């Protein structure tokens, strides 16, 4: 029979995370999570199942004190909802998972969950859908990719991109452009921007420095007539290019298509496995024929709180 315990010491939480969470995507890295934990300081609450001294289940949670709920570590909330995606629950079987959930003495809302590997999540509902561009599917060739479109649609999109590209230049990997990213996003969305919350903004600044120090940072800036018109920040980790943050200038319609097309071209040039454009049901993602990937929600909150965060603004380039 297994035992359940709760770990609140941050150092022990780190050891559990690094031992049991496989580092497959950038959000699996403890240091990435720590970038936001340093800003939010939500108390960790890791629920651990053990049998004969061996871990057979792990739920890495945080107490989000302003809402009095448990969320996935580190509980980096905006409008009451966490942001980081591809969250993992570790459990040997459904009985272990249910036992850990029973030990949650507060309401919980666990968002953007990957499916369990060996059994379905209980009470599983789709939280939101992520969108991927998969270069191997098109043999790393943008011409092959555009063959998936109708002739009329491909011609219209490419014409719009080409007209703007004729006026644009690109700048790469200048950390100073992070400020342009934040300012563009704030000017576009105001109080509805993630970056309006200084905790989130500084967590992203921490993340930028961490990615740069490890050689995983890619910042793409579009300049039109010398003015920053769009800035995106992404990570390059294990063959995946993940678009993490961005902002666009409202005075340049179509610049989001230009910069997103550039990300896809780059992924083909570098023969990357995927570009992850994250969740958010923005029209351009289906227009660009991206591959959908559902992520899941596990919660015991009342029904109104279970609605997906369809107003989430991940970046201006996703609008």
Domains and CATH numbers, the chain: 3-122 (3.40.630), 131-292 (3.40.630.30)
CB of 243 closer than 8 Å to CB of 263: yes
**Does an H or E element contain 77, and which?**
strand 77-78
Distance of alpha carbon 189 from the chain centroid? 19
CB of 190 closer than 8 Å to CB of 182: no
pLDDT score recorded for residue 303:
65
Is pTM beyond 0.75? Reply is yes
Within 8 A by CB and 6+ apart from 151, the residues are none
Q: What are 30's two structure tokens?
A: 């403890």
CB of 249 closer than 8 Å to CB of 310: no
pLDDT score recorded for residue 152:
95
Report how far residue 304's alpha carbon sits from residue 228's, in angstroms, rounded to the nearest whole number. 40
Report how far residue 59's alpha carbon sits from residue 65's, in angstroms, rounded to the nearest whole number. 18
Strand partners, 81: 78
pLDDT string in tens for the chain (319-residue length): 899 999 999 999 999 999 999 999 999 999 999 999 999 999 999 999 999 999 999 999 999 999 999 999 999 998 888 999 999 999 999 999 999 999 999 999 999 999 998 899 988 899 999 999 999 999 999 999 999 999 999 999 999 999 999 999 999 999 999 999 999 999 999 999 999 999 999 999 999 999 999 999 999 999 998 999 999 999 999 999 999 999 999 999 999 999 999 999 999 999 999 999 999 867 789 889 999 999 999 999 986 554 444 344 444 344 4
Q: What are 132's two structure tokens?
A: 């991927």
Region label for 173, one of left (φ > 0), alpha (ψ between -120 and 50) or beta (otherwise): left
Q: How far apart are the first and last CA of the chain?
A: 50
């Amino acid at each position: 029979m297994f035992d359940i315990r709760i770990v609140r010491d941050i150092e022990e939480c780190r050891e559990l995370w690094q031992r049991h969470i496989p580092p497959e995507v950038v959000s699996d890295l403890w240091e990435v999570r720590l970038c936001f934990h340093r800003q939010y300081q939500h108390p960790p609450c890791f629920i651990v199942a053990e049998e004969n001294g061996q871990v057979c289940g792990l739920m890495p949670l945080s107490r989000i004190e302003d809402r009095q709920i448990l969320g996935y570590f580190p509980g980096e909330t905006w409008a009451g909802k966490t942001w980081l995606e591809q969250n993992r629950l570790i459990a040997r079987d459904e009985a272990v998972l249910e036992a850990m959930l029973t030990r949650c003495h507060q309401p919980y809302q666990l968002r953007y969950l990957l499916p369990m590997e060996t059994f379905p999540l209980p009470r599983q509902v789709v939280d939101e859908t992520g969108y991927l561009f998969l270069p191997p599917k098109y043999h790393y060739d943008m011409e092959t990719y555009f063959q998936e479109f109708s002739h009329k649609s491909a011609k219209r999109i490419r014409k719009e991109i080409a007209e703007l590209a004729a006026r644009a230049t690109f700048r790469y990997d200048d950390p100073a452009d992070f400020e342009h990213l934040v300012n563009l996003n704030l000017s576009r969305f105001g109080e509805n921007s993630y970056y309006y919350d200084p905790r989130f903004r500084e967590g992203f600044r921490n993340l930028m420095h961490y990615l740069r120090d490890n050689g995983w940072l890619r910042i793409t800036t579009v300049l039109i007539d010398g003015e920053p018109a769009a800035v995106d920040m992404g990570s390059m980790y294990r063959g995946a290019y993940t678009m993490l943050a961005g902002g666009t200038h409202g005075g340049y319609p179509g610049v989001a298509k230009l910069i997103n097309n550039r990300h896809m071209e780059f992924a083909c040039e570098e023969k990357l496995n995927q570009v992850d454009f994250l969740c958010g049901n923005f029209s351009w993602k289906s227009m660009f024929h991206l591959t959908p990937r559902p992520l899941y929600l596990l919660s015991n909150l009342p029904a109104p709180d279970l609605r997906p965060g369809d107003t989430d603004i991940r970046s201006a380039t996703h609008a």
